[in-house]
Amino acid sequence: MKIGIFDSGIGGLSVLHEAYHYLPEQNYIFYADTEHVPYGLKTPEQILSYSIGITEFLLERGAEAIVVACNTATSVAIKELRKRYSIPILGMEPAVKPAVEGTDKKRIMVIATPVTIREDKLKDLLHRVDEHHRVDLLPMPRLVEFAERAEFDSEEVLDYIKKQFEPYNMEEYCALVLGCTHFNYFKPAYRQIFGDETLLIDGNHGTVKHLAEVLGIELSKAPDNVVIFDDVHKMLEQSKTEYFYSGKPITSETELEHLKILHNRLENVRKK
């Protein structure tokens, strides 16, 4: 099965990475729209038009299912994409439901892009699941920028995150929901602020599980060492993935090396 996975940038790599863990037998086309990142600061019309263009690109290359590995694009475009195309198209939304259902009493913080926070999709979700009004929403657009330049642990990153959380009393929170796929890279920084008790919840495993269900494939766990890549050739060979940046195939050793570093980062922060 050939599965297309797209995002505005390298956030979607975290979903692909989770797929390597649980659906290692599949073929993938990964598309990062690096020419247009960040989507979180674009208009809904722009995001919809990029999403349609990318979906057509992936279909032309034989994708049999598509994962919109971007909460922002999902909130704006998923309905229209499903209306236009007949293959399975899966979206992502902040994992508020498991956060609310898996905890009680204390508050839940959702971080996402400004578009995701503004759009009705998240409001509707909260209306359905946040009965006791325990959820707070906080936009963190600069994390997308930091992630795109692979700056994950700098003082500037930590200062930015601290500053955004400053108005809140961290003791009141039991869970932090990562409502943007780019935010997965910063788990060690959140840990420094929230401590070990707080749950960090992302939607990646849920998405891959859902993908398997929709496609009627069994989840099968890859050996852990397969998901740490020593070199780019091993990465390409083992993962059976074609990588694209805004329609251009990624073939240069330098770019592939960068993707390998990002995969290894994702592997290291996965269980934080």
Using CB under 6 A, pick the residue from 26, 51, 55, 116 that binds ligand DGL: 116
Catalytic residue among 54, 70, 100, 125: 70
Please identify, using beta-carbon distances, which residue of 71 and 241 lies nearer to ligand DGL: 71
DSSP character for 39?
A: G
Provide DSSP, 176-189: EEE-SGGGGGGHHH
Give start and end residues of each alpha helix (H) in 119-154: 120-129, 142-148
Q: Please give the helix or strand (H or E) that residue 268 lies within, else none.
A: helix 253-269
Could you confirm whether 180 is annotated as catalytic?
Answer: yes
Judged by CB, which is closer to ligand DGL: 70, or 189? 70
Q: How far, in Å, CA of 154 to CA of 146, rounded?
A: 9
| Helices and strands, counts by H and E, the chain | 12, 10
Ranked by CB distance to ligand DGL, the top (closest) residue is: 40
Residue 105: partners with Cβ closer than 8 Å, 6 or more residues away: 134, 174
Cβ closer to ligand DGL: 11 or 232?
A: 11
Could you give the 3-state DSSP secondary structure of residue 8? coil
For the CB of residue 171, give the shortest distance to ligand DGL in the complex, in Å.
28
Q: Binding mask 211-250 vs ligand DGL (x if CB under 6 A, - otherwise)?
A: ----------------------------------------
Q: Is 8 in the site for ligand DGL (CB under 6 A)?
A: yes
- Does residue 113 bind ligand DGL (CB under 6 A)? yes
Interaction with ligand DGL in 165-184: which residues (CB under 6 A)?
180-182
Residue with smaller CB distance to ligand DGL, 88 or 114: 114
Distance CA 74, CA 87 (A): 16
Q: Total residues contacting ligand DGL (rule CB under 6 A)? A: 17
**Binding residues among 31-90 for ligand DGL as defined by CB under 6 A:** 37-40, 70-72
Q: How far is the CB of 187 from ligand DGL (least distance, A)?
A: 15
> Does 144 participate in binding ligand DGL (rule CB under 6 A)?
yes
Annotated catalytic residue, options 15, 78, 96, 180: 180
Q: Which residues pair with 29 in a beta bridge?
A: 4, 242
CA distance 170 to 176: 10
Instruction: Give min distance, CB of 75 to ligand DGL, in A.
Output: 8
CA distance 71 to 96: 12
CA angle 174, 141, 132 (to 5 degrees): 30
State the chain's maximal CA–CA distance in angstroms.
Answer: 51
Footprint on this chain of ligand DGL (rule: CB under 6 A): 7-9, 11, 37-40, 70-72, 113, 116, 144, 180-182
Residues with catalytic function: 70, 180
